[in-house]
């Protein structure tokens, strides 16, 4: 099946690792310095890890995450901060009569080439356009009624909100639009403890939080991705 083009997450970070590795590598070759050589290897290793995660690793991890959700096929799903549609389209492939909505503000600092028309083109290329609906919306004020969705997902988006108060508001909104019995699944690199605490305060059940493996590292294990899962019971 043809694949869409999903760009690069945080392209400035990948560029920094690559340029720093090249510069320190050049300096090491000139000066024959062991510490500078070590720095070069470290930067290049982080660039390689970051590149793998953004181009392949995160897709493999999300396939595994979504497989475990055991879709019926008729679910209504929301992807918060959908970007160019990596998770959105992976969900859509698992639906038959269901539908997945994606919302984003299309910030290109967070993802290269991020644009609504790119996401729709990816959905068309991958044969799921009829199951996808996209709109521009702030995750802190979702344009959906209470209890609309069976599942809410988000990948590496909520941490881009700067304040913890606004992050809590985004989690509150995600929980609001969930149906009773609905599930929320979030993969993020920061603030997942805050997300879990917010969901607990809202009354969520079966809250689980754990770090994902090396395929979802953003350069090193310190920048690993954490997965959060919870369910709305009422």
pLDDT of 139-183, one tens digit each? Answer: 999 999 999 999 999 999 999 999 999 999 999 999 999 999 999
| Mean pLDDT, rounded, of the chain | 96
pTM: 0.94
| Per-residue model confidence as pLDDT tens digits over 21-77 | 999 999 999 988 889 999 999 999 999 999 999 999 999 999 999 999 999 999 999
Distance CA 188, CA 226 (A): 6
Contacts of 157 (CB under 8 A, 6+ apart): 80, 81, 82, 83, 104, 110, 139, 188
Superfamily of domain 59-231: Vaccinia Virus protein VP39 (3.40.50.150)
Give backbone dihedrals phi and psi of 160, rounded to 5 degrees, phi first: -70, -15
* Residues 149, 100 contacting (CB under 8 angstroms): no
Using pLDDT thresholds of 50, 70 and 90, give the confidence band for residue 222: very high
Can you tell me the distance from the alpha carbon of 192 to that of 224, in angstroms, rounded to the nearest whole number? Answer: 12
């Amino acid at each position: 099946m043809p694949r869409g083009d999903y760009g690069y997450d945080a392209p400035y970070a990948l560029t920094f690792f690559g340029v720093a590795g090249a510069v320190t590598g050049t300096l090491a070759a000139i000066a024959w310095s062991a510490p500078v050589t070590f720095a070069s290897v470290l930067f290049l290793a982080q660039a390689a890890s970051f590149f793998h995660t953004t181009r392949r690793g995160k897709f493999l991890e999300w396939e595994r995450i979504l497989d475990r959700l055991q879709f019926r096929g008729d679910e209504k799903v929301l992807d918060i901060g959908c970007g160019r549609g990596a998770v959105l389209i992976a969900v859509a492939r698992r639906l038959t009569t269901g539908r997945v909505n994606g919302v984003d503000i299309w910030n290109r600092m967070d993802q290269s080439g991020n644009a609504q028309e790119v996401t729709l083109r990816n959905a068309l290329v991958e044969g799921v356009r009829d199951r996808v609906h996209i709109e521009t919306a702030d995750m802190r004020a979702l344009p959906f009624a209470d209890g609309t969705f069976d599942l809410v997902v988000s990948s590496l988006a909520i941490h881009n909100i700067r304040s913890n108060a606004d992050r809590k508001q985004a989690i509150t909104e995600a929980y609001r639009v969930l149906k009773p019995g609905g599930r929320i699944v979030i993969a993020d690199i920061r603030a997942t403890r805050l997300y879990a605490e917010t969901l607990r305060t809202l009354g969520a059940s079966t809250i689980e939080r754990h770090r994902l493996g090396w395929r979802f590292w953003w350069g090193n294990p310190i920048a690993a991705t954490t997965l959060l899962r919870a369910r709305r019971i009422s």
